[in-house]
Structure 1
């Protein structure tokens, strides 16, 4: 799969994409159709007739494990955890992108500069009633480059439409784009960036992931795909651009310049503030796009939408991968539920091998790149509990967890999007580490109740005789 059009064709063949031909208003109506569809676990939606525009809009791309499997090139019936396992298996085999000829790159079919730059030519939705305006970047990613090392980062940061050549940004403290922007600020230069809308959906998923610093999402995409991502040079920025992108917005961010931005209905189900805030913005210099481009957006909002499924996959797989890189033995599987946006709660299944092993895994989880930012609750369970089997996790919390063995860590890096903290005090969070295992060091462990296997076979052989189907 190279682009969004490959995804659309594959989903249409499988009957998991629906084309909406009736006219739909970009102002709230489109988003509400998408959100109600997502709450019913409906198909991906391609809005072909957006009021006042010729450009279609696609939503609900990642809402189900079935469509995530399509994106990952796996069988449709794959579970979310199987998809994560695949990521963990191949994600370390980094494969850098390859530059291709500009003349053959679909993203260069139309090049707009100067007075022709106009973001209002695209059907950018207004998603929720209290949003501060229309948000161009919800299912996009922003490319930036470290001025010292050349490390290329793909990061998903919301982008509000603030003018025909202005896009808002929200580079949260400590995020990779924020770290890079501060370096450009020290140099007295604006930071070149590019916003990418509609390409290989895997790149968006990776843009939302918490990869380690100095690792490019392009390289991980190559590892997962088994082939290098095709890129081309930007028109006005020295950045690698996905050759098959639908829409590319090139520009620069000046750390010293601000515009009022927000509010926006976030994936926590709440607004991250009560009004607008002065934020940095992208001063747009050039737009390139394919013929008949497709705008991709996500409803974000209350779980579970494609945002939450994307984060459950990318955050869960990344946490699992980073724990694996620590070479801690005994870790069986990791699950970050989409209901927790994939980032606030992690459940880890492990085979205990020595005293203190569970404590090691708990503290390791919040020491990873992924876990150090915003992860609030970590639960470890024994190897007989699948972490995605929430009823069994509840069983472990009820019958194996003892509060005296839990740990409370009162300081950790938070996110300004966490609604459990006051709006003006979201830099620091607390962390709760729950050991829901039977302690390794107990001499006498609880004796589990088990069925007799011979009697089970006997009963199963008589199942129909007993009147069961």
Structure 2
């Protein structure tokens, strides 16, 4: 299935990217405060290469290690992180959908054809190492030694932006990797040995934190910095709560995940990461987090979140520090979201078969708006699809606008969408508004924190009881005449 090599760690991916001419080494000094953000975003908007900053500094003080940025700044590199060429992503999405809900086996031939699926399942079994590359050096538990960015002028301070935060529920055994959660949560550096973990209430890390709070015990936490591409992408995927990102990363990587026991906390950590932070979260300790620039394009409000006290830092002998920037799209998370959109489509179609395509516009913060193409067969079907998306799939609970179109409309073309809305939608009949539904509290447009309305727009052709008028006929040229026109224009060089 994979056409690219397995990338066991971040540096293997960087070697591959450099061989493709897709990595740039920057020798010019670049300040970690604000200036690096401008360079990252400029490179991303030009669909530029991975950046390696070899002379990063904080207001004149040189960083102790190189900084890697814009890792997944193009859809092609996100696909490569999965071991795929861009054109192979849809088929991989079909495979992941089948892996989640495999059909019954029908005979030996069918069983043998499932070998790739069986191999993928076996790849979820982690391998425990006694000696891990990420533990080559036991460093002082001092966060000031890391080249942490302060991305935006209004930010409260240095912010770790690509942390893979590793937790498990209270009462679980450290060896039960299937119960682990990996999440990419914002981590504000407070001082040398404290940082704030900003996990939202619906995320796995927050659920684990609540279990430890109920027991009154401190919670062990580890943070992997500079993990391999598969681990990074697994941590960012909206997987079901019953699926551990740590074990699922083996499916994405095409090879078993390697872990090792942490030094000072009862957790397993990715053995091939560049840096690991270990520590504890006290059930009663919080601190005001923020403000920081967010994916909405606004600074978020200051709110209390749990504090992690660092007990150990381990890293490779020559570590690399991985960073990113979050802001109004386009940014790196929105590029990752484009590829995840393609991966998620087969899963969505398994739940709602009449969906033929779906687009989450990156400019709409990647999830707050969806344009859905359906194979319409009966009256009211567009509304059923809207309600199914909002109610059946957790990742769409924060999608506040859904536009449904027919198969002849390209859901990724704003001109097509606008034409469908202008000619197939009546505001009084085809607009559905819901109130008091869940919403990301970062949505400042919401009248109440955490609750907002939903807007559904049926821009499909109306059939049956949906209309009492004869519907218009879409104009179209004869395809043979269009082909003839193309030949004529080629003849005059146009």
State TM-score, norm by structure 1. 0.90
Q: CA 1:125 to 1:280, structure 2 compared with 1: closer, same or farther past 3 Å?
A: same
Q: CA deviation at 1:184?
A: 0.9
1:373 deviates by: 3.7
How far apart, in 1, do the equivalents of 2:378 and 2:318 lie? 60
Q: How far apart, CA to CA, are the structure 2 residues paired with 1:126 and 1:380?
A: 40
1:162 aligns with 2:162: no
User: Which residue, out of 11, 16, 24, partners 1:10?
Assistant: 16
Q: Any idea what SS the aligned residue of 2:441 has? A: coil
Instruction: Give 1:4 deviation, angstroms.
Output: 1.4
1:417 partnered with 2:442: yes
Change (3 A) 1:410 1:311: same
Q: Distance in 1 between matches of 2:287 and 2:365?
A: 28
Say which of 32, 38, 41 aligns to 1:35: 41
Please, what is the CA RMSD of the aligned residues?
Answer: 2.3
Deviation for aligned residue 1:216:
1.2
Deviations 1:376-409 (A, max 9, x none): 1112211222322332222222222232222111
The answer to which of 146-155 and 1-10 deviates more is 146-155
**Measured at CA, do residues 459 and 35 of structure 1 come closer, stay the same or move farther in structure 2, by a change above 3 Å?**
closer
CA distance in structure 1 between the partners assigned to 2:463 and 2:395 by the alignment:
25
CA offsets per residue over residues 287-317 of structure 1, 9 Å max, x none? Answer: 1111211111111122101022123433x35
> Within 1, Cα distance between the matches of 2:90 and 2:362?
13
Shift of 1:325: 4.1
Confirm or deny that 1:208 pairs with 2:236: yes
Task: Rate the CA distance shift 1:375–1:31 in 2: closer, same or farther, 3 A.
Answer: same
**Greater helix share, 1 or 2?**
2
Report deviation, 1:261. Answer: 2.2
8 Å CA contact retained: 1:47, 1:58: yes
* Cα distance in structure 2, aligned partners of 1:2 and 1:255: 35
Counterparts of 1:298 and 1:46 in 2: how far apart (Å)? 12
> Aligned in 2, Cα 1:146/1:409: closer, same or farther, shift over 3 Å?
same
Q: 2:272 aligns with which of 244, 247, 258?
A: 244
Between the aligned partners of 1:374 and 1:324, the Cα distance in structure 2 is 19
Secondary structure of the structure 2 residue equivalent to 1:371: helix
Distance in 1 (CA, whole Å) between partners of 2:405 and 2:251 is 30
Equivalent pair of 2:127/2:256 in contact (CA under 8 Å) = no
Aligned match for 1:389, one of 413, 424, 434: 413
Residue 74 of structure 1 is aligned with which of 81, 84, 93?
Answer: 84
Aligned residues: 453
Alpha-carbon contact 2:425-2:457 (below 8 Å) kept: yes
Structure 1, unmatched stretches of 5+, are none
Which position in structure 1 is the counterpart of 2:390?
Answer: 366
> Does residue 427 of the first structure (1) align with residue 447 of the second (2)?
no
Residue 252 of structure 1, CA deviation: 1.8
Structure 1 residues 222 and 389, CA gap change in structure 2 (3 angstroms): farther
Structure 2 residue aligned with 1:289 = 315
Give the structure-2-normalised TM-score.
Answer: 0.85
1:293-332 aligned within 5 A: 293-314=319-340, 316-317=341-342, 320-326=345-351, 328-332=352-356
- 1:96 is aligned to 2:124: yes
- Contact kept, 8 Å, 1:203 with 1:218, in 2: the verdict is yes
Q: How has the CA–CA distance of structure 1 residues 224 and 88 changed in structure 2, closer, same or farther, with 3 Å as cutoff?
A: farther
Q: How does 1:167-246 map to 2 (within 5 A)?
A: 167-246=195-274
**CA spacing shift, 1:92–1:176, aligned 2, 3 Å:** farther
CA contact (8 A) 1:132 1:264 kept: yes
1:446 correspondence with 2:452:
no
Residue 105 of structure 2 is matched in structure 1 by none
Structure 2 regions of 5+ residues with no counterpart? 1-6, 100-120
